[in-house]
């Protein structure tokens, strides 16, 4: 397994959603060995759901980047909690989930993946195990599940296209595990969880072991494939 901290030392990274729990932890952890730029709605006005915003920032960034990490996303948007039953499905809440958790990563791929460095480079995006169709044995959470599943398909499809021009590029969806934060605390239940800093270190370790042959895949915080 390659050690990303050695391989990418001194190289450039871009973190999207740098003020979120995982995004901030990744920015801090990556900053110990890479030159990191971080974008967020709060600090920079970067709105991943608006193409004009993503395109404008793409025009300002210098790059090239050996790592672009999309850490944006939300389980609740404007107070709309995950649905426990089909009867709770609300069209506007559904579309907001798709907008943030699927369209956003697609826009980032469209405008920022051309800034990946030549040679080995990685575009990674936070997904979630609940976006797996094959691993869904509990039901519920319709909007969030659907949005993350859509993101997985977009990443897989983009990996095929990007791989035709950049043979050493890796494009992946990553499940960070159950991460304790203000937004997730009430949904933790009996699931074992860890803090954002631990999640960031796990993700960095996984990234170091990924090869171009694994591009387009969906992996968890241990580096194990997650069913589609």
Domain containing 50 equals: 4-220
Which residue(s) pair with 225 in the sheet?
A: 219
pLDDT digits (tens, 9 = 90+) for 153-187: 999 999 999 999 999 999 999 999 988 866 656 66
Give a yes or no: residue 77 inside a domain: yes
Residue 226 lies in a domain: no
Chain CA centroid to CA 119, Å: 21
Task: State the CATH number of the domain containing residue 137.
Answer: 3.40.50.720
Question: Is the CA virtual torsion 151, 97, 30, 55 positive or negative?
Answer: positive
Mean pLDDT, the chain, whole residue set? 94
| Number of domains observed in the structure of the chain | 1
Any idea which residue has 């239940």 for tokens? 189
pLDDT given at position 161 = 98
Residue 71 lies in a domain: yes
Q: 164, exposed or middle or buried, with CB in 10 Å at 0-12, 13-18, 19+?
A: exposed
In a domain, 21, yes or no: yes
- In tens, the pLDDT along 64-94 reads 999 999 999 999 999 999 999 999 999 999 9
Give the H/E segment covering residue 70.
Answer: strand 67-70
Domain-embedded: residue 228: no
DSSP assignment of 115-170, as one string? GBPSSSEEEEEE--GGG-STT--S---HHHHHHHHHHHHHHHHHHHHHHHH-TTEE
Q: How confident is the model at residue 57 (pLDDT cuts 50, 70, 90)?
A: very high
| Segment 102-127, tens digit of pLDDT | 999 999 999 999 999 999 999 999 99
Residue 115 included in any domain: yes
Name the least confident of 147-161, 183-197, 209-223: 183-197
Q: Which residue has the tokens 């990234």?
A: 207
Which pTM was predicted? 0.94
What does the pLDDT look like over 127-138, one tens digit per residue? Answer: 999 999 999 999
């Amino acid at each position: 397994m390659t050690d990303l901290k050695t391989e990418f030392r001194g190289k450039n990274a871009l973190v999207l959603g740098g003020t979120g729990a995982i995004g901030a932890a990744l920015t801090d952890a990556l900053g110990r060995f890479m030159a990191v730029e971080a974008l967020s709605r709060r600090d920079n006005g970067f709105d991943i759901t608006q193409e004009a915003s993503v395109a404008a920032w793409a025009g300002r960034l210098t790059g090239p980047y050996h790592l672009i990490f999309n850490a944006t996303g939300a389980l609740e948007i404007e107070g709309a909690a995950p649905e426990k039953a089909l009867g709770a499905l609300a069209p506007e809440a559904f579309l907001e989930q798709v907008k943030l958790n699927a369209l956003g990563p697609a826009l980032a791929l469209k405008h920022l993946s051309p800034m990946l460095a030549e040679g080995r480079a990685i575009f990674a995006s936070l997904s979630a195990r609940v976006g797996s169709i094959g691993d869904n044995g509990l039901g519920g959470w319709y909007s969030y599940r659907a949005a993350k599943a859509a993101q997985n398909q977009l990443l897989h499809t983009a990996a095929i296209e990007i791989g035709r021009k950049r043979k050493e590029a890796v494009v992946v969806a990553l499940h960070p595990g159950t991460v304790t934060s203000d937004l997730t605390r009430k949904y933790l239940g009996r699931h074992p969880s860890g803090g954002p800093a631990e999640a960031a270190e796990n993700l960095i370790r996984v990234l170091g072991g990924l090869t171009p042959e694994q591009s387009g895949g969906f992996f968890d915080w241990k580096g194990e494939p997650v069913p589609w």
